[in-house]
Amino acid sequence: MKEFQLISDIKKNIRFFSDKVIKGIGDDCAILKYDKKTSLLLTSDSLFEDVHFSREYFLPEEIGEKAALVNISDIAAMGGMPFTALLNIGFNKKEKIFYIKKIINGIIKSFEKYKIQLIGGDTIAADKIFISITMLGLVNNKFILQRNGAKPGDIIFTTGNLGDTYAGLKLLIKKKRENISLYEKKLIKKHLTPFIKLKEAQILARSGFLTSCMDISDGVMSDITRIAEESKVGAEIYVENLPVSDETKKVSLAFKENYFDYALYGGEDYELLFTVNKENKIKFLNFIKKHKLNVFEIGRIIKDKCIYKITGGKRIKERYDKVWKHF
């Protein structure tokens, strides 16, 4: 089963019954009418034990923090500000209640940091720990960021280093948290509780330069495919342009792996992946410099509805089986 195909099939069978729905399936959030100046953003993400996290590597508070942060990132990626959320949590009846309370405390800690009000939810019995958060945000109608606006010739950018969180995961698997250096600790922290680019997203949304945007949750190659599909275009990624930290390079070399693969396929970086019209490149870069934001040019949008990577002077068509998939 292919995740993209499943979502596409669901989308084809959906009929709209309400004029309150501006955008449904196909973006980081659904967009609903709110008032003349503002729209409501609605998103939902789930974490399941031994799929998205392992007790072997995560402290219970970190599980909760991550569950909250991945939802906040979806709101940020569309230029919005989160303000309220629902929490559904499932666990085995034999689970120690103090462990579940620590997870919930981690969620509440992240909510308080971003001033998000928890307003309800549900608890259910489950074989393993299951967390699902539904989050609402508000966005100015002038500044909504979506995936479907990329045009051929647009330049592809990202906001920060890629592959750090995957390097952190590799360290957790190989070394756990024992005998780790400061730089390794930094990478592990990024994997466990990613830093969400909410402030940066607000600045970028208000710049007026972005033609499409989403957060990087499943890896650059997987997520640029989503922008391409929604925009009905293709893309080229310049592999040697991908921003990879020295710390991640050290980890990949230690494991005798290609650090560019970490950046391309690792996922869970929660950086912003976005496009800008090539005619606005100079103005955009001046804007970025003025606001002291770090962005990196990593590719371009093309007419051909395929995804390519350019590496070593070669143009290689991307294989689906290398990108992240849930099934």
- Domain parsing of the chain, residue ranges: 14-143, 155-322
Sign of CA dihedral 96, 98, 99, 101: positive
Sign of CA dihedral 165, 169, 170, 176: positive
Residue 184, pLDDT score = 94
Task: Indicate the pLDDT class of residue 327, thresholds 50, 70 and 90.
Answer: very low
Beta 130-140 vs 38-48: how paired, if at all?
antiparallel
Coil, strand or helix: which one is 20?
coil
Q: Is the pLDDT of residue 160 over 80?
A: yes
pTM for this prediction: 0.92
Task: Indicate the pLDDT class of residue 325, thresholds 50, 70 and 90.
Answer: low
The class that CATH gives domain 155-322 is: alpha beta
Phi, psi of 145 (to 5 degrees): -105, 130
Residue 203, pLDDT score = 98
Q: Mean pLDDT throughout 136-142?
A: 97
Please check whether the two domains, 14-143 and 155-322, share a CATH topology: no
Fold (CATH) for 14-143: 60s Ribosomal Protein L30; Chain: A; (3.30.1330)
User: Which of 278, 284, 114 is CA-nearest to residue 206?
Assistant: 284
Phi, psi of 23 (to 5 degrees): -145, 130
